[in-house]
Amino acid sequence: MSIEAQNLNVYIKDNHILKDVNIRLPEKQITCIIGPSGCGKSTLLRTFNRLIDSTEGVKIEGKVLVDGQDIIHSGAEITELRRKIGLVSQRPCPLPMSIFGNVAYGCRINRMFKKRKQLIYHVQKNLRDVGLLDEIKGRMHTPAARLSIGQQQRLCLARSLAVQPEYILADEATSALDPISSKTVEDLFVSLKERYTIIMVTHTLRQALRIADNVVFMYLGQVIEAGPAQQVFNHPQEELTQKYLAGAFS
Amino acid sequence: MNIAHKKKLKESVAKLFMWTAILIFFGIVASVLWTIFSKGCKAMSWDMVTQLPGGGFYIGKEGGFLNAIVGSLYIVGASTLLGLLISIPVVFFLNVYLKKHSKLAYVSRLAFDVLFGVPSIVYGAFGFTIMIYFGLRASLLGGIIVITLLIIPIFIRTMDEATRNFPRDILEASFALGATRWETLKVVLRQIAPGIATATLLSIGRAIGDAASVMFTAGYTDSIPTSLSQPAATLPLAVFFQLSSPIPEVVDRAYAAALVLTIIVLILSITGRFITNKFSKNKV
Amino acid sequence: MQKLRIIKDRVAQGTMFSLTILSILLVAIIAIGLYLKSAPVLDDKSLWTLLFSSEWRPMKGEFGFLPFIMGTIWVTILAILFSLPISLLTAVYLTEYSKPIVRKFVFPALDILAALPSVVYGVWGVLVIVPWISQHLAPLFVDFSTGYTALAAGIVLGVMVIPLMVSLFVEVFTTVPVELRQASLALGATRWQTAIRVVFRKTLPGIIASVVLAVSRAMGETIAVLMVCGCVIHIPESVLDACYPIPALIANNYGEMLSMPFYESALMFAALILFVVVLIFNLLSRIILYRLEKTEK
């Protein structure tokens, strides 16, 4: 049960975005992908659930193995793959429906429940897991867009969790939030790692320091260094990593 | 797994429908063009476009529809010029003199969009009333006035769209140099020239093809008008009147006239797209 | 010198302002002009009789517009029934699936379809649709049909509004942010599910507004409809009946009406009905579309 990239190369139009990426992301842990902006972090993340497909002129070479299955070339069922891999994006993006509708959306799409009662129970459970249930009492069926940004982001997390994924991809999931909401969401991720494999792209080193079990450092489309957080942060092997950690470039 | 299959099946069915829709769409385009070209080419001859209707033209004797071609060109040429003269100041006023979120600009855009939606038969009927009021008969002048009214909204809205994307910095740069807004017009004009060109082509296309509005206002005649007060024939009406004739030779002329009209409009449309493409390439 | 420049600017501003106001006023001028012209018949008959009577005897001074109004409604509904599915599916494919190669062919084809004059569609209708209906379709249902029917007019009109509808739909759908689509896709939704459940839901007002715009375009179309509709004054009972929409009525009779009292006025009233309905439809849908555009910027 893991995600693994082998000799992965991604081109968008004529740009070589990811260069020969070889990594294996351990399960039930938080892996933080760090690096200066434009280094290909987000592209890597979006290759894992093949959301990259909707970009125009994209070309993928190499393999990405999810649970041992190559998702790039094997003609894998893409919607099933995406169900298995949740995504929390940078800006919270509530769908144009109620709070309940947002969480229920994935379940309905995937026909997870036959009875409405089960669906309601499931939605409540997931809202409780992200600490929203009490905050929105009685507002279940109001438009999700009326929530605060921080609440919206937790709603998006609940929405991802509701389809029972095994992995969660988070693309700078806290960068658009205020410090308090940011802390809440961060704590949520820590509490979720017992059950899910979490891969986070972050541009704040402090966040990675606080919550990462593993760290992948990328620079200009290449993975420079990867390993357990303590090792990478305390004893970086590569000169580039040392420079980045020292704040030489951001 | 079962659900994933169902989803996939649904997706395939949806795709099938969409492909069918697109195929029908292309089928229609092909059918229209094929009909016009195959019928028109058979009926076409050099005389059709170089001769005026001769004696007995409407019972199948010789002649062509040069009168309609020239009439259409007169009307379209004059109203395009008039339309440009009126529209450019309005577009300029909307985009340079008025603030971005001004009420007047909002109302004007709404008004022009509404005018754009007014059916040409209403323009025709309205224009005819006005003409009677001023004691005019169906004439070249009447046709020009009504077609000008018809294409002004198209002119303005198309140019306005092109100008709205125009970077305001350039305006500010010009103002900063102490230029008045009137003087800035030249800067703006140069920038939106491709927009004006596409708008003009679009308007010409609409103007040359519209029949309902010129039906009463321009009238119909077998000769080329020599003054503004004489009636003028137009291509769409040449098609319309001759198509209902019981004599095959006359109907053939309708096909030929339709072909001429279609070719003109196609050339305009293709040129327009070419300019837009080239323009958007240069922009970024 | 300096003064002259400023005066020039002022004069220019004044001219432009009045030109703009004048163009806006054109809407009102048309409305007033048509109203004044139709006043005689409005004074003579009640609005109710004019709109809901089906007695049309200009010689006797009876003007019931119901057959023409019904003709317009029939033709418009048929046109929308025909064009809506095609336009909607095409637009969804263009925006949600966006294969560059398809776009490369569809957009120029849309341009061509949009550019062709009404009279050319009329010729096409007379040569292709009318014979097809009279020879292949109608014999399945009725004994005899000339082919000049409401259905023929509906199909021709439908084809004519397809380019308008597709381009409006594409514009409306592209106001939906990419992130919203990705959020849905990331949950395992297919593109079709995303289109139906997210894009349609988000843009429903825009979709409706676009359809209303297409309706008002279809209602006012004259020459093409006139050429294929059959022009029989009665209330159509089936799609295979001939019909006589309002624009066709005006176009057919305008030249020769001066000899009869009230006739000109009645035809002007027809133009006024058309104008008012189109005006209302246009205003409503444009305002909705403006709002949609604004929220996305």
Domains and CATH numbers, chain A: 3-245 (3.40.50.300)
Is C34 within 8 Å of B125 (Cβ atoms)?
yes
Indicate if the pLDDT at residue C168 is higher than 90: yes
A–C: how many Cβ contacts below 8 A? 67
Is C161 within 8 Å of C90 (Cβ atoms)?
no
Backbone torsions φ then ψ of B159, nearest 5 degrees? -65, -40
Separation of alpha carbons C62 and B88, rounded Å: 47
Separation of alpha carbons B144 and B75, rounded Å: 5
A95 to C184: CB separation less than 8 angstroms, yes or no = yes
What value does the mean pLDDT take over residues A191-209? Answer: 89
Give the residue from chain B lying closest to C267, CA to CA: B125
How long, in residues, is chain B? 284
- Per residue in A17-35, pLDDT (tens digit) is 999 999 998 888 999 999 8
How long, in residues, is chain A? 250
- Per residue in C118-162, pLDDT (tens digit) is 999 999 999 999 999 999 998 888 888 888 999 999 999 999 999
Question: Which class would CATH give C51-295?
Answer: mainly alpha
Q: pLDDT tens digits, chain B, 284 residues: what are they?
A: 577 788 889 999 999 999 999 999 999 999 999 999 999 998 888 888 888 887 666 776 777 788 899 999 999 999 999 999 999 888 888 887 787 778 888 888 899 999 999 999 999 989 888 888 888 888 899 999 999 999 999 999 888 888 877 777 777 777 777 777 777 777 777 778 888 888 999 999 999 999 888 888 888 888 888 888 888 899 999 999 888 888 888 888 899 999 999 999 999 988 988 887 777 654 43
Measure CA B68 to chain center. 17
- Per residue in B162-178, pLDDT (tens digit) is 887 777 777 777 777 77
- Per residue in C211-266, pLDDT (tens digit) is 999 999 999 999 999 999 988 888 888 888 899 999 999 988 876 656 676 888 88
Burial of B282 (0-12, 13-18, 19+ CB in 10 A): exposed
Indicate if the pLDDT at residue A242 is higher than 70: yes
A79 to C178: CB separation less than 8 angstroms, yes or no = no
Count other Cβ atoms within 10 Å, centred on residue C237: 10
Q: Residue A75: what pLDDT? A: 67
pTM as predicted: 0.90
Indicate if the pLDDT at residue C69 is higher than 70: yes
Q: Residue B282: what pLDDT? A: 47
Instruction: Extract the tokens encoding A27.
Output: 């399960």
What value does the mean pLDDT take over residues C105-121? Answer: 92
Q: Residue A71: what pLDDT? A: 86
Q: Please give the residue that has the higher pLDDT: either A3 or B63.
A: A3
CA angle C160, C166, C168 (to 5 degrees): 110
B contact test, residue of A69, A78, A79 with most B CBs within 10 A: A79
Residues in chain B within 8 Å Cβ distance of A110: 3, 7
Is A163 within 8 Å of B7 (Cβ atoms)?
no
State ipTM: 0.90
Give Dmax over CA atoms of chain C in angstroms: 84
Count other Cβ atoms within 10 Å, centred on residue A31: 24
Instruction: Extract the tokens encoding C40.
Output: 């005689």
Separation of alpha carbons A30 and A174, rounded Å: 15
Measure Cα distances from C31 to A15, B164, B214 in Å: 58, 30, 20
Is A130 within 8 Å of A103 (Cβ atoms)?
no
Residue B59 CB contacts under 8 Å (≥ 6 apart), including other chains: B247, B250
Measure Cα distances from B258 to A113, B53, B79, B248 in Å: 60, 16, 22, 15
Is C119 within 8 Å of C96 (Cβ atoms)?
no
How close is the nearest chain B Cα to the Cα of C257, in Å?
A: 12
Q: Would you call A32 helix, strand, or coil by DSSP?
A: strand
Separation of alpha carbons B238 and B216, rounded Å: 14
Indicate if the pLDDT at residue C68 is higher than 80: yes
Separation of alpha carbons B158 and C89, rounded Å: 27
C93 to B240: CB separation less than 8 angstroms, yes or no = no
Is C257 within 8 Å of C181 (Cβ atoms)?
no
Separation of alpha carbons C104 and C197, rounded Å: 27
Separation of alpha carbons A37 and A29, rounded Å: 24
Separation of alpha carbons A44 and A52, rounded Å: 9
Buried b vs exposed e over C189-210: b needs ≥16 C-beta within 10 Å?
bbbbbbbebbbbebbeebbebb
Burial of C17 (0-12, 13-18, 19+ CB in 10 A): middle
A95 to C198: CB separation less than 8 angstroms, yes or no = yes
CA angle C236, C240, C245 (to 5 degrees): 45
Of B176, B175, B197, B177, the closest CA to residue B96 belongs to: B175
Question: Which class would CATH give B57-283?
Answer: mainly alpha
Chain B touched by A187 (CB under 8 Å): no
How long, in residues, is chain C? 297
How close is the nearest chain C Cα to the Cα of B195, in Å?
A: 16
Separation of alpha carbons A63 and A56, rounded Å: 20
A contact test, residue of B5, B7, B12 with most A CBs within 10 A: B7
Is A184 within 8 Å of A131 (Cβ atoms)?
yes
Measure Cα distances from B112 to A82, B90, C31 in Å: 47, 11, 15
Label residue C94 by pLDDT band (50, 70, 90).
very high
How close is the nearest chain A Cα to the Cα of C198, in Å?
A: 7
- Per residue in C170-216, pLDDT (tens digit) is 999 999 998 899 999 999 899 999 999 999 999 999 999 999 999 99
Strands A3-12 and A58-66, bridge-based pairing = antiparallel
- Per residue in A145-185, pLDDT (tens digit) is 899 999 999 999 999 999 999 999 999 888 888 888 889 88
Delimit the domains of chain C by residue range.
Answer: 51-295
Residue B213 CB contacts under 8 Å (≥ 6 apart), including other chains: B120, B121, B123, B124, B127, B146, B147, B150
Of B162, B163, B198, the closest CA to residue B271 belongs to: B198
Separation of alpha carbons A60 and A9, rounded Å: 6
How close is the nearest chain B Cα to the Cα of C49, in Å?
A: 23
Instruction: Extract the tokens encoding A244.
Output: 């980045």
Using only C-alpha atoms, chain C has a radius of gyration, in whole angstroms, of 23
Residue B131 CB contacts under 8 Å (≥ 6 apart), including other chains: B137, B138, B139, B142, B145, B217
B4 to A77: CB separation less than 8 angstroms, yes or no = yes
Is B224 within 8 Å of B67 (Cβ atoms)?
yes
Instruction: Extract the tokens encoding C55.
Output: 């007695």
Q: Residue B283: what pLDDT? A: 43
Q: Residue C1: what pLDDT? A: 63
A79 to C189: CB separation less than 8 angstroms, yes or no = yes
